[in-house]
Amino acid sequence: MRSSRGGLRRAVRIALFAILIFILLPYVLTPLYLVVRPVSTPMLWRYLTAQPVTRIYRPLGDIAPVLPRTVIASEDARFCPHHGVDWRGLRDLLNEAEDFDDLRGGSTITQQTAKNLFLWSGRSYVRKALELPLSLWMDLVLGKRRIMEIYLNIAEWGPNGQFGAEAGSRRAFNKPASDLTAHQAALMAAMLPNPRKRDARMPGPAVRRLAGIYQRRANTAGLADCLKRGRF
């Protein structure tokens, strides 16, 4: 009996230690991503399962400025003023949401980056609870420009393992991300929620409609101050 209880206690301690490592590891890795080019958990999964992955990392300065501007307009209009979590937007969403499914549109670009780098997809209160403090930490450590650069290089922009703006632009328009036009950037932004069903290369009516909305939004704003070189 004592041996059985001792084994159970050891198993519990090991499990708790593993959970602690899982929670703390992203906080340790985040400062490394100031200089290291990270891969996302979806990319890792495709590597492990022998599925194709296409990504050519591009610094933010080598991506057409219209793309981050349009992504902000479509995904996270308050990207510059918030600190990783848009508490005002989240509060409004909570007041309007009827169930957890309605909260899926409340993630900032920083939260999406945290999820793609360290967590998992799907709707989960546990994931959200891990995501919020991690997003605040990433905003503090990495700054806006680096977060946007990482996001644009790990976002999925194609149905067959095309990750990052460069791979997405070459697939959709046969051109580098540095040469994207405003309309092409809007089509790519319209793909982001579901790149397996939305295609910038052959956009359907819904994608074209969204792209028009995002292009108009982006045209009303210049390059966000927080993305200018040397600004955080």
**Residues 4-16, mean pLDDT to the nearest whole number:** 75
pLDDT score of 5 more than 70: no
Question: Which helix or strand (DSSP H or E) is residue 65 part of?
Answer: none
Name the residue range of residue 86's domain: 2-227
Confidence of residue 9 (pLDDT cuts 50, 70, 90): confident
pLDDT digits (tens, 9 = 90+) for 53-90: 999 999 999 999 999 999 999 999 999 999 999 988 77
| Domain count across the chain | 1
12 found inside a domain: yes
Task: Report the pLDDT value the prediction gives residue 1, as an integer from 0 to 100.
Answer: 56
Residues 103-121 have pLDDT tens digits of 545 689 999 999 999 998 8
Report yes or no on 207 lying in a domain: yes
| 8 A C-beta contact, residue 67 and residue 58 | no
Residue 163 lies in a domain: yes
pLDDT at 100: 46
More confident residue, 184 or 10: 184
pTM: 0.89
Would residue 201 count as lying in a domain? yes
Given pLDDT bands bounded at 50, 70 and 90, which one contains residue 102? Answer: very low
Instruction: Please report the pLDDT score of residue 93 as a whole number.
Output: 67
Distances (CA, A) of 79 to 46, 172, 223, 227, 232: 29, 26, 12, 10, 12
pLDDT of 37: 95
DSSP characters over 74-121: HH-TTTTTSSSS-HHHHHHHHHH-SSGGGGGGG--HHHHHHHHHHS--
- 122 has a pLDDT exceeding 70: yes
Q: Is 79 among the domain residues?
A: yes
Give domain status of residue 232, yes or no.
no
Q: What is the pLDDT of residues 176-219, one digit of tens each?
A: 999 999 999 999 999 998 898 999 999 999 999 999 999 999 98
Q: Quick one: what percent of the chain has pLDDT higher than 70? A: 88
Apex 195 CA angle, 98 and 82, nearest 5: 55
157-161, 187-191, 218-222: least confidently modelled range: 218-222
Task: Give residue-wise pLDDT tens across range 35-58.
Answer: 999 999 999 999 999 999 999 999
Tell whether 153 is covered by a domain. Answer: yes
Q: Long-range pairs for 128-136 at CB < 8 Å and ≥24 separation?
A: 128/103, 130/23, 131/107, 132/85, 134/26, 134/27, 134/30, 135/84, 135/85, 135/108, 135/110, 135/111, 136/83, 136/84, 136/85
According to DSSP, residue 50 is labeled: T
Residue 71 included in any domain? yes
CATH code of the domain in which 172 resides: 1.10.3810.10
